[in-house]
Amino acid sequence: MSHKKSKLLLLSLPLLLSSCAQHNQDITNAQHSVASETQEELYILPGLDHGLVQSPINIYSFKERESNHHKITFHFQDEIKAIENLGHTVQLDFAQGSTINYEDLTYSFKQMHFHTPSEHLIDGVTYPMEMHIVTNVPPKNSTEKPRYLVIGVLFKMGQTNKFLDEFINLIPKKVHSVAPLNPGSVKLHDLFPDDEETNVENFYHYRGSLTTAPYTEAVEWFVLKHIIEASPEQIKKISAIEGNNARHIQGVFGRSID
């Protein structure tokens, strides 16, 4: 991977996000209803307008990659305003204001949520947890399709994670309930080791889909290469709420991962 310093991702911190993928569907049922002939076709859903760019996927870390020329800029206003227990996931909601600029589009941070275990695999390995930071460009009218940019962060067992500690005991016990958070108490930039400036080459990038219904194929995926540590207790706590909510990996079908 080359090191063009020009592809920079400045992250002027505080951050924010907002909408993510919809998670309110029973993926498991959908997956189980499919029969297919090859491994790669497994879990293609009936009725889905499938452009062969579904997510998640397995990413090979050692593959030669073309140097990518994306430029991405984060404007983090670190305002996370609420935490939700949605039963199938734990979700943090952003206040309005944080954006990411990528290829002439401005995406707004909506929310972030967790999957246990990870949805993306790295070199065939599943990690115990993955977080998705969801941003979108809201459609201007009913005919325009939404566009998403999702940042994926994988977790492995290790040291207690400072960022998770800021809210893990505040997750509402009751399913489908929301608890407000004190402004500034949960800081997404505590998750990233080098918070002031992040190079786009710290991420695997590919084009894919939402991993929950309606599986919209309009997602710019950025999966952080660095695997973040969290304690087994932290991961267990989130996993106990969500259960297994990871979609099966999908075929790559010749897509480039840069």
Half-sphere exposure of 254 (CA within 13 A, CB side): 2
CB of 194 to Zn ion, least distance (A): 24
Q: How many beta carbons lie within 10 A of that of residue 123, not counting itself?
A: 10
Look up 69 and say whether it is catalytic: no
β strands within the chain, DSSP E = 8-12, 58-59, 72-75, 80-85, 90-94, 99-102, 105-115, 121-122, 129-137, 147-157, 177-180, 197-199, 203-208, 219-224, 228-230
Nearer to Zn ion, 14 or 152 (CB): 152
Nearer to Zn ion, 110 or 132 (CB): 132
Q: Quote the Cα angle for 239-240-242, to 5°.
A: 60
- Identified catalytic residue from 23, 75, 88, 132: 88
Q: List the x/- string, 12-51, binding to Zn ion by CB under 5 A.
A: ---------x------------------------------
Q: Per CB under 5 A, does 132 bind Zn ion?
A: yes
CB of 2 to Zn ion, least distance (A): 30
3-class secondary structure, 40: helix
Nearer to Zn ion, 115 or 201 (CB): 115
3-class secondary structure, 121: strand
Residues touching Zn ion, count (CB under 5 A): 2
CB of 132 to Zn ion, least distance (A): 4
Which pair of structure tokens corresponds to residue 50? 């499938």
Nearer to Zn ion, 98 or 212 (CB): 212
Which residues would be at the binding site for Zn ion (CB under 5 A)? 21, 132
Active site residues: 88
